[in-house]
Amino acid sequence: MSTDWGIIGHDYLGQMRDRRDLGLAKAIRFANEHSVPGLAGLSFLRSIVWALIGVDFAEKRAGAERPLSASVIAEGVEALACWHAIPVGVNQAMRIRGARKLPRISEDQLTLKRLARGRGYVSQPVRVGIGAALPGLGLVEARNSRFNSFTLSDRGKEFLKLTLQSRKTEDALPLLWNWLDGGPWPHGEMQKRKRNREIAHLSPVDPLPSATRAFFSELMESAGEGSDLATRRSLWRVSREVLSKGPALEGDAMVAEVIGQMREANSATADRLIWSEKVFNLYAATFEVLDQIQPLISNAPLKKVNIYDLSRQSEVKDALSELNGLAKALHKLPKPDGVPQDLGVFLESVVGKRADDVLRELVARDGLILRLEEDGGVPEVVLHPDFIPGVRPKQKTDAEDEPEFKPTELYRLRNLCVLCREVMQES
């Protein structure tokens, strides 16, 4: 425990870049949304089904003596689906969450109360990440941004109907409906066939019906309005074209091909991608400076180095030069409407400033791993005493239970490419 830092020790520092946003969290969220509007954290289609079932059940039980919130229901359905999918095998796409926690729950212990809200599951269910995508794709009517305020739209009802092949969710999933209403989850051989039939509608590893996937593709090209819709539509069409010509393309290769084609078209969408990409490059370069500082301080006798000496180290100078160049390039580009002021403030603190002043700014923005000490003398940079270079600290949650996005890459565009592949796969 390092009480003088006001935080707990090494084991719970967490993945550093997950917690050190350097005051740029709003800018990074904006850049992701600007690049692929309306997609939020959506990365596979079955998660939409879980969320819409939650909204549907909550809406139909709104007048009950003890109504349940849509978020609790959706998270319970999600956990139940993952519990049944774990024996199939946890894949790298992170569609199955809770792989370490859920097996601790026996079949006769499967209750909504036990599974929802992270009890036996994970701290960040899929539902949390995709909430904003539902109104963006026109699947719900939203009074505000809160998930529990959503009601199903006609498009949302159609999505469920095509997936469940029934106009009413309760008719397609009577066992689940009863379970959500407080009944037991059926187990044993007697109910196996009925149970498996319903779980097939929820399984994160099985593809959705081709009709549902075609409907989703239509939503990607029609839901929304203005420049946001135009951006998503053009990215979706290019992604489909890229996959049609190169079905083996995956991951970074597919993302790079999509970006390349958008740049060749020299469209407004390309401008969005270029701007967002530069924001993420800037963010990565900022961490590179801090990454260069950490081992220098770690190897110092007193685990501290004065800021002027740090700024003269060749590796730090190179990293600062790269950061300054990226900041200048971004500063010259036209700013999109709605850009958080935090980004402009950061750019002003970097562009054309002295190396030691930039270091001072970055360390002050950190405060978790690195800290600035100024006691009237030469300012010194101190490394958290519990930080161990090259050793990844344990997470508060099981690392393999939750996906890990690099905060320095355009993962929204990557997700769009993944969704495109899912839509175009063979049934």
The residue written with tokens 């939650």 in the block is 54
Tell me, what amino acid is at 407? P
Whether 65 is in a domain gets the answer yes
CB 407 within 8 A of CB 15: no
Dist. CA 370–CA 364, nearest whole Å: 8
* Half-sphere exposure for 91 (CA within 13 Å, toward CB): 10
The per-residue pLDDT for 236 is: 96
Dist. CA 32–CA 41, nearest whole Å: 10
Q: Which domain holds residue 119?
A: 46-200
Tell me, what amino acid is at 113? K
Tell me, what amino acid is at 329? A
Same domain, 134 and 276: no
Strands 370-373 and 140-142: unpaired
Dist. CA 117–CA 75, nearest whole Å: 7
What's the pLDDT tens digit per position in 4-14?
444 333 333 44
Same domain, 65 and 183: yes
Whether 120 is in a domain gets the answer yes
Same domain, 177 and 97: yes
Residue where one domain finishes, among candidates 165, 200, 235? 200
CB 82 within 8 A of CB 102: yes
Residues 6+ apart with CB under 8 A from 25: none
CB 136 within 8 A of CB 39: yes
Whether 113 is in a domain gets the answer yes
CB 138 within 8 A of CB 153: yes
Residue 2 is given by DSSP the state: B
Q: How is residue 391 written in tokens? A: 């050793």
The per-residue pLDDT for 323 is: 97
* Count of C-beta atoms within a 10 Å radius of residue 379: 18
Same domain, 171 and 87: yes
Which candidate, 423, 419, 339, 421, places its Cα nearest to that of 41?
A: 419
* Half-sphere exposure for 284 (CA within 13 Å, toward CB): 12
Work out the angle between the directed axes of helices 355-366 and 314-332 (0-180°, nearest 10).
90
Residue where one domain finishes, among candidates 200, 232, 247? 200
Same domain, 188 and 296: no
Which candidate, 352, 282, 347, 344, places its Cα nearest to that of 319?
A: 282
Dist. CA 119–CA 111, nearest whole Å: 10
Domain count of the chain? Answer: 2
Whether 376 is in a domain gets the answer yes
Which candidate, 181, 231, 164, places its Cα nearest to that of 66?
A: 181
Same domain, 16 and 127: no
Residue 106, judged by CB atoms within 10 A of its CB (0-12, 13-18, 19+), counts as exposed
Same domain, 79 and 184: yes
Dist. CA 41–CA 147, nearest whole Å: 14
The per-residue pLDDT for 54 is: 95
Distances (CA, A) of 326 to 24, 141, 266, 315, 350: 15, 41, 21, 17, 10
**Which strands form 304-306's sheet, in the order they lie side by side?**
304-306, 380-383, 370-373
Residue 131 is given by DSSP the state: T
Residue where one domain finishes, among candidates 143, 172, 200? 200
Q: Render 322-350 in DSSP notation, one character per residue.
A: HHHHHHHHHHHSPPPTT--HHHHHHHHHH
pTM of the full structure: 0.83
Same domain, 76 and 20: no
Residue 158, judged by CB atoms within 10 A of its CB (0-12, 13-18, 19+), counts as middle
Dist. CA 339–CA 170, nearest whole Å: 44
The per-residue pLDDT for 313 is: 95
Ranges of residues in the chain whose predicted pLDDT is under 50: 1-18, 92, 392-405
